[in-house]
Amino acid sequence: MKTTVVWFHSDLRVADHPALHAAAQRGAVVPVFIYAPEEQGERAPGAARQWWLHHSLEALNQSLQRLGARLIIRRAQQSLPALEQILAETGADALYWNTRYEPQLWARDERVHKTLRTRGIETREFPSYLLHDPNAVRTDAGQPYTVFTPFWKR
């Protein structure tokens, strides 16, 4: 049976979660949340965010338990080593997650893709919380829009 680790970020829900849905279609699912605020640089969470995160993770875990899964939560300086450890512990052969667009997180996710693919782990990202993928919205010349009106008319 194929096993997929689903890496949750700020999308702490089971409904309308493309990565979770795709993983469930594939086989067994191992839901994971890695708490690595150092990777977020200036956007590291304050006290209110930590409170929200704690209660959101509890609610997510309850939703996952109703579906027969249990959320694994790890604290790490960097996500990649923690993900590698979880993949090894579970024997999973794939890692799925919903795309993040913050520059520092996008670079981190690219490192995760490259590293895990060289180790034979399938990695996939899914668009989730934007109407349009910023990399897919381009002018006829293939460049990003710099003026709103032409984008809006398209």
Provide long-range contacts, Cβ within 8 A and 24+ apart, for 52-61.
Answer: 56/12, 57/12, 57/33, 59/12, 60/8, 60/12, 60/13, 60/14, 60/31, 60/33
Q: Are 3 and 30 in contact (CB under 8 A)?
A: yes
Domains delineated in the chain? 3-153 (3.40.50.620)
In which order are the strands placed within the sheet that holds 122-126?
72-75, 28-35, 3-8, 94-98, 122-126
Q: What is the pLDDT along the chain (154 residues), one digit of tens a residue?
A: 899 999 999 899 999 999 999 999 999 999 999 999 888 775 666 889 889 999 999 999 999 999 999 999 999 999 999 999 999 999 999 999 999 888 788 889 999 999 999 999 999 999 887 777 777 777 788 887 788 777 777 6
Q: Residue 154 and residue 78: Cα distance in Å, rounded? A: 40
In the 3-class helix/strand/coil scheme, how is the chain assigned residue by residue? CCEEEEEECCCCCCCCCHHHHHHHHHCEEEEEEEECHHHHHHHCCCHHHHHHHHHHHHHHHHHHHHCCCCCEEEECCCHHHHHHHHHHHHCCCEEEEECCCCHHHHHHHHHHHHHHHHCCCEEEEECCCCCCCCCCCCCCCCCCCCCHHHHHHC
pTM, to two decimals: 0.87
